[in-house]
A and B are shown apart, each in its own frame.
Chain A
Amino acid sequence: MALGLTHFLVVSALLFCLGLYGVLTRRNAVAILMGIELMLNAANINLVAFNKYVAPAALNGQVFTLVVITLAACEVGVGLALVMAAYRNLETVQVDRINMLKW
């Protein structure tokens, strides 16, 4: 068995679903964000793997990965700012306690 594309895809699928699990089950906004990061990383693995095995002629996959990393950074920046602002007012970062409005 030689190392091939599907190996990476399986890891990516598992990582994605772990991230999803985190997103679905965590109460802490930051923890949910970490789950989202895992999901994005899974997508990145896909992109890089496909770039090598499917379309090695151009580097679109890797460029996409860079963009995703950038977006992840921006999301973390903005998202954590919102978390901090909410924490200042509510003294909690548990999303089910941030619940003035009907959920």
Chain B
Amino acid sequence: MPIPIEDLWSLVPEFWLAALGLLLVLLDLFLPGDRKRLVGWAAVVGLLLVLMPILGMLGTPARTVFFNTYAVDGFAVFFKIIAVVATILVILSTMDALRGHTSFEGEMYVLLTFAALGVCLMAASADLILLALSIEFVSLSSYVMAGYFKSDLRSNEAGIKYFLFGAASSAVMIYGFSILYGLTGETNLYAIADRVRTAPQPALVLAVGMALAGLGFKVSMVPFHQWTPDVYEGAPTPVAAFLAVASKAAGFAALVRFLMVAIEPGPVDWVAPIAGLSAVSMTLGNLLALPQRNIKRMLAYSSISHAGFLLMGVAAHRGDFGAPGLLIYLLAYTFTNLGAFFVAIAVGGRLGSDEIPSYAGLAQRSAGLAAVMALFMLSLTGIPPTGGFLGKFYIFGAAVNNGLLWLAVVAVINSVVALYYYVNVIRVMYLLPAPSGGSASGPVPLRLALGVAALGTLVIGIFPQPFVTLVGAAAMLLRM
């Protein structure tokens, strides 16, 4: 079985990313200690370049390559774009955040680049083996990044907790995969889809349920969410941003492809449980976010609740609003949440605290920072004209369209609850007086990242048509 040469062309972005990662390792090895930032810039340039082949694949017809183990479709392309863009922004923000905390600066960029590759692989894997492998690929690099500040106790703890939860849930997931393999005799998702119709019920339910454990961990779905707050709080902030955005997006990519390609044709009703989990996730996340004083912890709980919203899009995947809604929500969430974490980096780096009360009077100290933070908070709430609103708009529409009105009502109530703690940040920044002077604006790379995030948030909200077209194409190609 020789490998078709033309298949190789479909993997140009992945090869590029892998080569970039390896190159960065080399670069890191031979750069002197004080020039490691160059690795970061090289990573940024390389990632920007890789966007070209990715965007070039936008219009290509959906197909699978490499003996059906790898899907090349709009869906995958969409997540590749998210992965690369998010990684670029995170790298830009990292340049500031690592200073003085670790001497292993170059490796962080390497890990981020490889994690981006892992996200791409997760989104496109069409085989259980490759899927499990790429999930671990992302996880392993994330464990390391979470525990990156070795002399910081909280980072230690974040790393260990993330690792233990992650390893346990991926073990459960792999067990689920093994049962699925037993039921169908296949590891290929598309082949499973052909066989799953006749698969015996209880075992199939068990398999899907166990597989959901691992994927649910990645997207911090209740009840696999317990790691989220501790890890986000303890991990270096850019890493938390990466976990909250890219890793979560990848989780959804894998979850959606797994459910919609492999399980959808089968007899298992997965919509109802997912809808239930969605409701529980958003409610629990919100309620726990309410009393938080630490911005990263608050964002962690909020990310649990957003996982709930996104799951709502998964449950309500049919129709023009379902899958596209999920994707556009993710897109908007990517920019918004990254932006929120970047503000946390800027503030944390200057004021040395992640506590929300220390944001008091930020509007007077650095108006720009406060303004974009307000924008991000509003977008997370879903107030127009931000990207977050468009996402909510879509997701609510999808729920209504799929007859999940009850879920939509739960989501409405949750949105209102969420408003309270998001607006609390705005309140602190704008309504409370500043304790002392001192501006809190970040250095150039961080400001660049912030600007892109803010711009993305706004543009998706105001001129969404290009994005709508993009996600429309991505969702259409999903099932080939």
Contact = CB atoms under 8 A, between A and B. Distances in A.
A–B in direct contact per CB < 8 Å: yes
Nearest to A56: B185
B136 interface: yes
A100 B177 contact: no
B150 A85 contact: yes
A10 interface: no
B156 A63 contact: no
A81 B141 CA distance: 13
Contacts of A40: 171, 174
The interface centre, meaning the residue of B144, B157, B170 with most chain A CB atoms within 10 A of its CB, is: B157
Contact of A60 (B157, B160, B187): B187
Nearest to A16: B175
Interface residues of B, number: 41
Contact of A100 (B129, B154, B174): B154
B38 interface: no
A101 B154 contact: yes
B153 interface: yes
Nearest to B133: A67
Contacts of A101: 154, 157-158, 229-230, 233-234
Contacts of B133: 67, 71
A6 to B, nearest CB: 11
Nearest to B158: A101
Interface of A: 9, 16, 19, 23, 29, 32-33, 35-36, 39-40, 42-44, 46-47, 49-50, 54-55, 60-61, 63-64, 67-68, 71, 74-75, 78-79, 81-83, 85-86, 88-90, 95, 98-103
Task: Give the 8 A-B residue pairs with the shortest CB-CB distance, closest first.
Answer: A55-B185, A50-B182, A46-B178, A39-B171, A86-B156, A43-B175, A82-B159, A101-B230
Given A64-B132, A71-B132, A103-B230, 16 more contacts: A33-B167, A36-B167, A39-B172, A43-B174, A46-B178, A50-B182, A55-B185, A64-B181, A79-B164, A82-B163, A85-B159, A86-B147, A95-B164, A98-B156, A98-B157, A100-B157
18 contacts: A16-B175, A29-B164, A36-B171, A40-B174, A43-B171, A50-B185, A54-B182, A61-B181, A61-B187, A64-B129, A78-B163, A82-B147, A83-B160, A85-B156, A90-B153, A100-B153, A101-B233, A103-B226
